Amino acid sequence: AQRVTQPEKLLSVFKGAPVELKCNYSYSGSPELFWYVQYSRQRLQLLLRHISRESIKGFTADLNKGETSFHLKKPFAQEEDSAMYYCALSCATGANSKLTFGKGITLSVRP
Amino acid sequence: NAGVTQTPKFRILKIGQSMTLQCAQDMNHNYMYWYRQDPGMGLKLIYYSVGAGITDKGEVPNGYNVSRSTTEDFPLRLELAAPSQTSVYFCASSYPSSAAYNEQFFGPGTRLTVL
């Protein structure tokens, strides 16, 4: 069975500090990984997907199959990055893409 | 487009009462999902649907029922509310695509308390 582990519940940093939100997964097949974000009083929304290899709002995430990790990183945190972040795994075959979410981590960026 | 809408926003139920959480989307998405979010537990999939008339159980389906008579609507029914069903419920939808590019669009959530 697939599983997503986010080992920390809360990360508090000062503005300008680097951020790394950890995500590890367990899946025997070829995983598709995502980061979703929920800002205060907003809907949960997709931040980035590993297949796109993109930087969104300064965040990047690299899939490391050897370590089964997909950590989210940003070199210089901003106050507007404060939010709840969820790592998610899709391991569907075919088009039925269910997501398995981690427990989430709250990122707090202090001025 | 309104995207994914959910009603009500808040509800308090007594044990044993029943209710239906409404979810609608106007993006013509085939796939729809219901999740519950408990503090510190992330999102758990309750039920999902890949199209009108087709539904299937997720990870935590007990105590819930769903139907999908149209592409747009995907109501979630609680028949006998229990305190363990106190949670925030999210509906989501997505367009069929490969797993790698799938993006789910979420509603604003319904906060349900069962007393």
- Smallest Cβ distance to B107: which of A43, A90, A93? A43
Question: Is A44 within 8 Å of B106 when comparing Cβ atoms?
Answer: yes
A90 or A15: whose pLDDT is higher?
A15
B39 contacts chain A (CB < 8 A): no
Residue B96's pLDDT band (cuts 50, 70, 90):
confident
Residue A106's pLDDT band (cuts 50, 70, 90):
very high
Task: Report whether pLDDT(A63) > 80.
Answer: yes
pLDDT in tens, B60-78: 999 999 999 999 999 999 9
In DSSP terms, B24 is beta-bridged to: B5, B73
Query: Which pLDDT score is estimated for A7?
Result: 95
- Those residues with Cβ within 8 angstroms of residue A49's Cβ, 6 or more apart along the chain or in another chain: A32, A33, A34, A35, B100, B101, B103
Ramachandran angles phi, psi of A39, nearest 5°:
-80, 160
Smallest CA–CA distance, residue B56 to chain A, in Å, is 11
Query: Which pLDDT score is estimated for B102?
Result: 77
Distance CA B114, CA B25 (A): 27
Distance CA A83, CA A46 (A): 13
Question: Is B99 within 8 Å of A92 when comparing Cβ atoms?
Answer: yes
- Smallest Cβ distance to A96: which of B41, B43, B50? B50
- Smallest Cβ distance to B97: which of A4, A9, A95? A95
State the distance between the two ends of chain A, measured CA to CA, in whole angstroms.
41
Best to test chain A binding among B104, B105, B111 (most A CBs inside 10 Å):
B104
Query: Which pLDDT score is estimated for B99?
Result: 67
Residue A92's pLDDT band (cuts 50, 70, 90):
low
User: Mean per-residue pLDDT for A1-28?
Assistant: 94
Query: Which pLDDT score is estimated for B42?
Result: 87
Ramachandran angles phi, psi of A37, nearest 5°:
-135, 145
Query: Which pLDDT score is estimated for A75?
Result: 97
